[in-house]
Amino acid sequence: MESQFQKYLGTQTTLTDDAIHAISSCAIARTLRRNELLLEPGEVCRHKVFIVSGLLRNFITTANGNEHVLHFSPELTWTLDVESYDKEIPSAIAIGAVEPTEVLLWQKADFNKLLADIPLLKQFSEQLVARTMYYNRQRMATILSASPEEKYDDFTQRFPGLIARLPLHMIASHLGISLKTLTRIRHAQLLR
Amino acid sequence: MESQFQKYLGTQTTLTDDAIHAISSCAIARTLRRNELLLEPGEVCRHKVFIVSGLLRNFITTANGNEHVLHFSPELTWTLDVESYDKEIPSAIAIGAVEPTEVLLWQKADFNKLLADIPLLKQFSEQLVARTMYYNRQRMATILSASPEEKYDDFTQRFPGLIARLPLHMIASHLGISLKTLTRIRHAQLLR
């Protein structure tokens, strides 16, 4: 039976069935409980991660214990700590499950071999990196320039499916606004 | 005579003299006056840009006229609007000169040919993209989590040479803090 991941590659790429099979067969499946960490700060990020179902967040925890969400990764997206993975250095961030989550993991050596063997996978991978760069640039611009209301509107438009799945404090932390401000914005919108 | 750019490639890469010559000979030199724009919002970014001397900034201007600096590019670094360049769509940002600046420009077709012909240039280019990604991730974490004092300290440590060359309002805009807060921080540091 075709897996969720195989369907995803089939619709997102022009990879052959053989290539899709080769990529799938190197993956290690893992299930995470809510709040379980896939990567702890200080650990080396040794895997590419595909989210089959559920929701992960990449976040940092400051010395005073505050958490700041760098980004969310819902089902059918990829994540990792790119600097830790590339350089094999300890990660400054954590990756944790917001909900029960199923992931596929590829070890770096295995994934590198796939990239070398399958040029279309390399091309797809470069497209994903580029999209992440565009998104991060836009996110930086929004964080620097937008009002709290604009930040929230941008988030709801970009990720309409996520609002109902996330605790408010995580949305606030992702937007770089206080929980109080977020609550005020949402209350005002209900009255519109 | 060896140019600044040729020296830069000679120290930063293991490219042969012939390759360095091929890369240099495709470049178009341009001089910018202070405040002159190299890229206007709405224009397609058609060049890779290397800064030979001077200082550029990538910034956005919001509807109310406020400017927000995404990043600074001093001498011996590269810049562009990556999304506009890749997709050939209008740029949402501007690139302008903070000081009189000399740049080298490569048209996309020329640079793509160089990348295809010179594998070491492609490798170097990928390294630069990766470094930009690492830096942007760190910058995002700093903007979301750090206090104004920490943001300023981080900037002075990362770019010690830039502080004296930048108007305070541009530093404040880059850090996402108000000019008043920046002035207070700098004053407090003078008294330490």
Q: What does the DSSP 8-state code read for residue A21?
A: H
Residue A11 has pLDDT above 80, yes or no: yes
- Residues A9, A23: contact at Cβ < 8 Å? yes
B64–chain A Cβ distance below 8 A for any pair: no
pLDDT at B88 over 80: yes
Average pLDDT over chain B, rounded to an integer: 95
Considering only the beta carbons, identify the residue of B86, B92, B134 that sits closest to A83: B134
From edge to edge, which strands make up the β-sheet containing A55-61?
A37-39, A94-97, A55-61, A67-74
At residue B65, φ and ψ (nearest 5 deg) are 90, 0
Q: Which of A9-13, A90-94, B129-133 has the lowest mean pLDDT?
A: B129-133
Question: Quick one: pLDDT at residue B104?
Answer: 98
Local confidence band at A96 (pLDDT 50, 70, 90 cut-offs):
very high
CA distances from B111 to B38, B49, B81 (A): 18, 11, 15
At A55 the three-state DSSP class reads strand
In the numeric block, which tokens belong to residue A92? 């400054």
In this prediction, residue B57 carries a pLDDT of 98
**pLDDT at A1 (0 to 100):** 62
Confidence of residue B184 (pLDDT cuts 50, 70, 90): very high
Q: Using the 8-state DSSP alphabet, how is residue B59 labeled?
A: E
Other Cβ atoms within 10 Å of A117 Cβ, number: 12
Question: pLDDT grade, residue A2 (50/70/90)?
Answer: confident
Token couple for A169? 């404090």
User: Is the pLDDT assigned to residue B7 strictly greater than 90?
Assistant: yes
Answer whether A135's CB lies under 8 Å from A143's CB. Answer: no
Chain B closest-CA separation from residue A84 CA (Å):
9
Q: Which pLDDT score is estimated for A122?
A: 95
Q: Which backbone phi and psi does B133 adopt, to 5 degrees?
A: -65, -45
Residue B176 forms contact with A (CB below 8 Å): yes
Residue B1 has pLDDT above 70, yes or no: no
Distance (Å) from the C-alpha of residue B13 to the closest C-alpha of chain A? 18
Looking only at the bridges linking them, the beta strands covering B94-97 and B47-53 are unpaired
pLDDT band at A191; cut points 50, 70, 90: confident
**In this model, does residue B147 exceed pLDDT 80?**
yes
User: Average pLDDT, stretch A40-55?
Assistant: 97
The mean pLDDT of A46-65, rounded to a whole number, is 95
**The pLDDT of residue B97 is above 70:** yes
Compute the mean pLDDT over every residue in chain A, rounded to the nearest whole number: 95
CA angle A29, A35, A36 (to 5 degrees): 40
pLDDT at B190 over 90: no
Q: How far is CA B121 from CA A42, A93, A102, B22, in A?
A: 33, 31, 39, 11
Is some CB atom of chain B closer than 8 A to the CB atom of A114?
A: no
Cβ atoms < 10 Å from Cβ of A129: 15
Q: Give the pLDDT band of residue B192 (cuts 50, 70, 90).
A: confident
Asked whether residue B25 carries a pLDDT value surpassing 90, the answer given is yes
Please name which of A36, A83, A42 lies closest in space to residue A56, comparing C-alpha atoms.
A36
Q: Supply φ then ψ for residue B122, to 5 degrees.
A: -60, -45
- Strand B67-74 versus strand B101-107 pairing type: unpaired
Beta-bridge partners for A55: A74
Question: What kind and span of H or E run contains A8?
Answer: helix A4-12
Which residue among A68, A92, A140 sits closest to B70, beta carbon to beta carbon? Answer: A140
Here the ipTM equals 0.87
Return the higher-pLDDT residue of A166 and B64: A166
Give tens-digit pLDDT for A129-165: 999 999 999 999 999 999 999 999 999 999 999 999 9
Residue of A140, A151, A154, A174 to mutate, interface with B, max B Cβ within 10 Å = A140
pLDDT of A189 strictly over 80: yes
Cβ of B82 within 8 Å of Cβ of A134? The answer is yes
CA pair distance A116, A75, nearest whole angstrom? 26
Residue-wise over A6-26: b if at least 16 C-beta within 10 A, else e?
bebbeeebebeeebbebbeee
